[in-house]
Every structure is written in C-alpha cells, then in structure tokens.
Homo-oligomer: A and B are copies of this chain.
C-alpha cells in the first residue's frame, strides 16, 4: 500500500522506523506518533487549528533566547515537566523531592564562601538559610554543592530586569566537613511566569493565572550521589495551592521565621526585620547498594 487513510497513516509512519538502529528512539517515536495521531483524530483537528498550532509552536521557538526558554515554560505550564520529574524521581526513594528547573537557570553562578550574601543589592527582605546535606542513610555529606537561584523580593529574576546584565541572587555554596551550609539571600515572593510571549497568550486563553508561589531554586549535588533539582517553597505564600507550573511539593514547604531588626544568626547586625529558614536535604547514593539476597 502506498496511499493511506485516516487510520492506516499511523502504521505507515511507524513502519518507517523499521530501519532505525536505536531501539529506544524507535519505541519513543512509535508511542509519540500513536498518541499524536490519536489526539488529531479524537478532536477531528481542523486545518485552521492545525495552522494555529504550527504558528504557535514557531512563535514559541522564536521567543527562546540564551536567557529565556519558552519551550520549557510551555512544558511547565502543561504539567509535562513535573510529570517527567515525578516519573524519574519517585518520592519514596527517600531523597529530597525534585521539582521543575524552570526557565531561569543560569549555569556558572560564582562559588562563594559559606555565609555569603547572594543577594547583595537585590530588593527584598533578608533571609538567612541554613541546614545540612545528608546521604539517605543519614551520613552528612561534606563538600556537597548547592547551586542556588531565585528572583528578588518582588519576584523578578535578574534576566528579567531591564538593564541588568549580571547575575543577581545566584551563587554556589559548598557544605563543610559536617555537611552544613549557610548563606544569606532574600525571602522570595510569588511572581508570574513570563506572560509577554506565546505561553502567556495560551494561559490567558486557558483562563488560568500565571503565578508561582514564592520559592528559591537549588540544584544540590555531592560526590557519589544523585543530584537533585528542587525548590524551597515559602510556607503561607499565595498560590501554593495553584502553582502555574504544578511544581509544588508539600515536603519542600518551609517556614520562614520572622525576626525583628537586630543580630542575625551569623552575628551581623541587620537593621530591618529578617527571616531565618532551615532545611536538610537528603541525596541518594548514585549506585544502589546490593540487596542482601544478591
């Protein structure tokens, strides 16, 4: 057969994979084509809708720059990112839960001494973060790396601030011999995902708000352990119950304790009210230990 109807076309596309020498790629593409065609058939997609989709995807691609990833934002707002993360990092594995990386990660933040203020000159209420990085067996992990980033106290990432070309509210901190970390930054607030592009138009059409609850991002890694890309969410923040990217995890919600102006945990004098927050992260060993019966 060399001509296809609306049913046989799917098998015809899949049959072209017969010569593919990568079985995993062939499996992924077979499933993708099946579901994509099922979708088109299920809704009887019109040609005008198809063209709207082509234009939308083109626009999403064109909106991507070296500092903005609109396809990640699309994946985030359709719940695909958190689905992939949840499948690959089951909560029962005992490590800190993973959540979305989001579109604002910037590789190569400076490594700073423990106790540094990551948010020098950044708007927002001061917050002092501390805690430990541990293996899932409870052993403290020395020299673990926390790659930290957040928006400012008004919800703006450095990349979004007109005229700001450098890194702000970003830094990398290592744990000490007892697995402890501490640093200063700000208390993050809720903010909208970027709404001036095609994904923003989609959210308005869906009728959904674009806000994320206040959170700080971290990628935590340690020798011999699986890295974790995660957040700490601010307890009590607005939108914890309707995160625009579905990334909220109860286990990552932490209290930001308010203190009056005065001496901070590290002894320095802070002349505005400030917050303290503490959280221990657990990481899974990279190679599972052999079970007893092996």
Within 8 A of B (CB), among A46-67: 46-47, 49-50, 54, 57-62, 64
B249 near A84 with CB under 8 A, answer no
Give every chain B residue within 8 A of A61 (Cβ-Cβ).
57-62, 64, 71
Task: Known A206-B29, A241-B2; judge A64-B58 contact (CB<8 A).
Answer: yes
**Distance between Cα atoms of A85 and B51 in the complex (Å):** 12
A142 at the interface (CB under 8 A from B): no
A28 to chain B: closest residue by CB? B43
Interface segment among A4-12, A106-114, A153-161: the answer is A4-12
Contact with B along A240-281 (1 / 0, CB 8 A): 111100101110000000000000000000000000000000
CB atoms of B62 and A75 under 8 A apart: no
Given the interface pairs A71-B54, A75-B50, the reply to whether A82 lies near B43 with Cβ below 8 Å is: no
Q: Is the CB of A36 within 8 A of B35?
A: yes
A86 neighbours in B (Cβ, 8 Å) = 4-6, 9
Q: Tell me, in angstroms, the Cα distance from A58 to B42 when the chains sit together.
A: 27
Q: Which residues of B contact A75 (CB under 8 A)?
A: 50, 54
Q: A38-B35, A42-B31 are in contact. Are A13 and B78 (CB under 8 A)?
A: yes
Q: Does A164 contact B (CB under 8 A)?
A: no
A87 to B246, CA, bound (A): 34
A91 to B43 CA separation, bound complex (whole angstroms)? 19
Residues of B within 8 A of A6 (CB): 83, 86-87
A32 near B: Cβ within 8 Å?
Answer: yes
Q: Confirm or deny: A293 has a beta carbon within 8 angstroms of a beta carbon on chain B.
A: no
Q: Does A69 contact B (CB under 8 A)?
A: yes
> Which of the residues B58, B64, B84, B250 comes within 8 Å of A71, measured between beta carbons?
B58
Does A20 touch B at the CB level, under 8 Å? yes
In whole angstroms, how far apart are the Cα atoms of A86 and B208 in the complex? Answer: 34
Count of this chain's copies in the oligomeric assembly: 2
B205–A85 contact, CB under 8 A?
A: no
**Contact B35 A54, beta carbon cutoff 8 Å:** no
Report the minimal beta-carbon distance from A55 to chain B, rounded to whole angstroms.
8
Knowing A3-B250, A61-B64, A69-B58 touch, does A79 contact B37 (C-beta < 8 A)?
yes
Bound Cα distance A61, B74 (Å): 14
The answer on a CB contact under 8 Å between A78 and B33 is yes
Which residues on B sit within 8 Å (CB–CB) of A82? 4, 9
What is the distance, in angstroms, from A207's C-beta to the closest C-beta of chain B? 3
Chain B residues with CB under 8 A of A12: 79, 246
Contact of A85 among B20, B47, B91 (CB under 8 A): B47
Question: Which B residue's beta carbon lies closest to that of A56?
Answer: B71
Task: Tell me which of B33, B34, B39, B206 contacts A31 (CB under 8 A).
Answer: B39
A33 CA to B75 CA, complexed, in Å: 10
Q: Is the CB of B206 within 8 A of A16?
A: yes
**Contacts A27-B43, A84-B45 known; A2 to B208 CB distance under 8 Å?**
no
